[in-house]
Every structure is written in structure tokens, then in C-alpha cells.
Amino acid sequence: MFKKSVIAGASALAMASFVAPAMAADYKGPNLKGEVLTITCPWTGPEEASFKKVLEVFEKATGAVVKTSCSSSSEQQIVIDIKAGSPSNISVFPQPGLAANMAAIGALTPLGDKSRDWVKKNYAAGSSWADLGTYSNKEGKKEFYGFFYNVNVKSLVWYIPENFKEKGYKVPETMEELQALTKKMAAAGGTKPWCIGLGSDAATGWPGTDWVEDFMLRVNAPDVYDGWVNNTIKFNDKRVLEALNAYGWFAKDDANVDGGAKAVATISFKDSPKGLFGSPPKCYMHRQASFIPAFFPEGKADEADFFYFPAYASKSLGKPVLGGGTILTITKDSKAAHAFMDFMQSAPAHETWMADGPGFLTPHKGVDLAKYKTKAQKKQGEILLNATTFRFDGSDLMPGAIGAGSFWKGMVNFSGGQSAREVADEIQKSWDAIK
């Protein structure tokens, strides 16, 4: 989907960087001399170069030879190769939905309970990651198939620290404090609290879905989010309406948003964050994923910082994080494939990429955060490690007609004046139409 391509295209951007300490590759693997491991992955350019440095650690430690086939169309290639009976040993999926589809036709090799238990113990919010990698097999039995590697964080609010300092504003630590800060900024007049833009050509509306997904995790328990994504909890359920209206509290008040509420749907998501900059700025805050500095004015990225999009203190739902990530699976079983999946549990498999380039985050609790190449990555890594719940972008898990169709359209209509109930009823009709 569009959101994935934006993140992939912008992930090489770094904010203020620092020199990471040297890393000793202390992984020691089995003797795989003479073994060839094939991998299909979605990474290209700088990301592919960083991944290959990770593979070099594996090759050096085991004697195996790794051959990669990586491209922006890897998802399609994986499916083609599976159907032709010639998949790579390891296939890297950019989202769980397609991996689940492949597991359902018997195309993935289960990783076993030992690997699932390792993830639950060693990843922050480990149960979330274990569940995201668990799918039904051909017989309908749940198995653990997917190991997440290289993830991203969406639950971020971007701001200019100097602007906050000048006005005496403090970074909020709870949703109640964020709402109070929004009211205070709006009452002061002039610069608006928020810049929000849903415009994205044929994909207009998707930034609004991210807001709603974040609120689904902040007003409801994680199992409600899961039910909403697969529609066992209807889109017009009162718990979903609460999340829609929580977003509407920020976005549908002219006093809160640069350009007014009805302009939200027409302002490009690429142009929206530019309002943070300038003297005076047009807005003080912008909620968006880690890729957004790619669209900041040239030479201005170092002026910006971010904070965690906070949870409600009154809800006792912990610190949920919304994001995405890639999943490693075995699509052609071999000794080297299993050894590689074991290698991916080691700190060097993560720290090598952490130290080499921006755009990489890991929930692995055993890594040295000082090895992140940039300060921004390190801070995002800390947010990820502090998460009590992680959930994948919901619209990317929904059927395309919903997640990249009626949900996007609904966000535009909501901004244009429709009520949460009207929007939710229309989206639920589109769900019902595909069942």
C-alpha cells in the first residue's frame, strides 16, 4: 500500500547524527560451509546495502554463502516463486497479511514454539510480536511462522523545541496533558496547535486512518483493536466511534488546525509538516510516522524533535505503539535457513544494521541502544522498547477495498463534516459487501 512505499522511500533520512561505537561481531554459528542460502527481500538502495552487511556477519561466522534477490516488487515475486514451486529459502514480507495468506496454503515452514517463546521473552511487548507472526496453517491450526525484523514507529508527534521553549510549553506525557496543551495553544491565538493534512492524490485520507488506529489502541484494549481489524467488531461499534471522535476532537475544531477543519482533507500530507517551521510558525505539532522528516523544508530537519503520542492516564492501557515492519519467514526449508533464523535472534544481527544506517529499529531488548547511528533512531528505539503493546497498521491488514478504499474515503468525509456514526456506517456497509 501507499504508506509502506512512503516509509520505504524515506527511511534513509537521518536526523542529527552521532558516531556509533565500534561493534564486535560476536555471533558464532554452526559450520555451514558449502551451504547456499537464498533470500528474497523488499530492501533496495542504502537499506539493501545495510542488510548485506548483516549477511556478511552470518557468512563469516558459518561459512555459508548467501544470495539475495531484493526489489521493491518483492511481494509479487515471492508469490510467483511460491506458486512456481521455486521460492527462496527465506522470504521477507513487508506486512503480515500476505505472510498469513501464504501460511494458509502451506507455503511457510513453522518456526516452532521455541522461537515463539524467544520472541515473547526477548522482544519488548513480545506477546504482540509473537501474535503478529502466528497464522493458521492449511488445516486451520495456529503456528508461529514470522520473525519481525526492521520495524518502524508511527506513534510520534513532531515539534520544534525552540517554539515550545519560547512560549513556555512543555512536552505532554499523557493524552489528557496533550488535550490541555492543545486548548492552551488554541486559546492563545495566532499559531494553531496542529498541522494535519490528509491529501495524497489517489491515496487521500490515509493519514487520518493512522490517527484513528492510534486512538483505537488508546481508548480500547488490544483485543478490541484486533477484532476491529478483522471486523468481528463492527466498524460502527461504539468503541470504534469513540476512537473516531477522539481524532475528531483534534482535527474537526477550526481553532485547533492550521487552515481550519475542512482544509484538512485538501492539504497534502507532504506539505502539512512544513507549517512547523517559520517565524512565526503556522502550527506547533504534527502527528506522523518516523519517515516524515523527508518532507521537512531543506536544511531544517535538525530543528525538529518528536515525542511519543501519549496514552490516557485515566484508561490504564499502558503505552501502546502503532507501527509496521518486515517479517522473516522460511519458504524453502534447509539447515541454513533454520540457522539464519537463529542468527536473527542474536544482537549482532540487529546491531550491525543499527550502526550502519538510519531507518532501522528493533524491539530486541538485548541490543545496545548506543549503537544506533542517529539520535533520532535511538530515541525511537527507546519508545519501541517502552511499548507495552505493539500493533501493526490496521488499514494495511484490512481488505484493500476497506483499508485502501472506504476507510480512506471515510476520513475525508469525516473531515468534511460527516459524523463519526455516518462515516462508520458507510465503511461497515463496504465490509458487508465483500463478505
CATH number at residue 79: 3.40.190.10
d(CA 432, CA 426): 10
Q: Is position 270 within any domain?
A: yes
**Of the candidates 123, 188, 171, which has an alpha carbon nearest to the alpha carbon of residue 321?**
123
Q: Which residues pair with 159 in a beta bridge?
A: 305
Whether residues 243 and 266 fall in one domain: yes
Whether residues 272 and 220 fall in one domain: yes
Q: Is position 28 within any domain?
A: no
φ/ψ of residue 129, rounded to 5? -70, -40
Whether residues 166 and 122 fall in one domain: no
User: What is the distance of C-alpha 304 from the center of its chain?
Assistant: 20
Q: Is position 415 within any domain?
A: yes
Q: Is position 376 within any domain?
A: no
Instruction: Look at the chain and report how many structural domains it folds into.
Output: 2
Whether residues 226 and 118 fall in one domain: no
Q: Which residue has the cell 504482540?
A: 128
- For residue 346, the 8-state DSSP code is S
Whether residues 210 and 268 fall in one domain: yes
Sign of CA pseudo-dihedral 296, 299, 303, 306: positive
- For residue 173, the 8-state DSSP code is S
Is 41:51 a contact under the CB 8 Å cutoff?
yes
The DSSP element (H or E) to which 404 belongs, if any, is: none
Q: How many CB atoms lie within 10 A of CB 421?
A: 13
d(CA 285, CA 193): 6
Kindly write down the DSSP assignment for every residue of 188-244, as one continuous string: H-SSEEE----B-GGGTTHHHHHHHHHHHHHHS-HHHHHHHHHTSS-TTSHHHHHHH
Name the maximum alpha-carbon separation found in the chain.
Answer: 70
pLDDT at res. 3? 54
Q: Is position 224 within any domain?
A: yes
Which domain covers residue 98, as residue numbers?
Answer: 2-17+34-153+323-362+383-394
- Is 178 strand, coil or helix? helix
The DSSP element (H or E) to which 361 belongs, if any, is: none
Per-residue cell: 243 = 476512537
- Is 108 strand, coil or helix? coil
Whether residues 111 and 173 fall in one domain: no
Is 374:358 a contact under the CB 8 Å cutoff?
yes
Whether residues 303 and 332 fall in one domain: no
Q: Is position 225 within any domain?
A: yes
Q: Which residues pair with 287 in a beta bridge?
A: 157
Reading the chain (435 residues) residue by residue, the pLDDT tens digits are 445 444 444 443 333 333 333 333 478 899 999 999 999 999 999 999 999 999 999 999 999 999 999 999 999 999 999 999 999 999 999 989 999 999 999 999 999 999 999 999 999 999 999 999 999 999 999 999 999 999 999 999 999 999 999 999 999 999 999 999 999 999 999 999 999 999 999 999 999 999 999 999 999 999 999 999 999 999 999 999 999 999 999 999 999 999 999 999 999 999 999 999 999 999 999 999 999 999 999 999 999 999 999 999 999 999 999 999 999 999 999 999 999 999 999 999 999 999 998 789 999 999 999 999 999 999 999 999 999 999 999 999 999 999 999 999 999 999 999 999 999 999 999 999 997
Sign of CA pseudo-dihedral 287, 289, 295, 297: positive
Whether residues 298 and 400 fall in one domain: yes
Whether residues 242 and 160 fall in one domain: yes
φ/ψ of residue 196, rounded to 5? -135, 130
Whether residues 316 and 418 fall in one domain: yes
Q: Is position 188 within any domain?
A: yes
* Dihedral, CA of residue 263, residue 265, residue 268 and residue 274, to nearest 10: 50
Q: Is position 285 within any domain?
A: yes
Whether residues 254 and 268 fall in one domain: yes
d(CA 242, CA 226): 16
pLDDT at res. 341? 97
Per-residue cell: 400 = 484493500
Q: Which residue has the cell 550502519?
A: 356
Is 54:61 a contact under the CB 8 Å cutoff?
no
d(CA 142, CA 139): 9
Whether residues 283 and 313 fall in one domain: yes
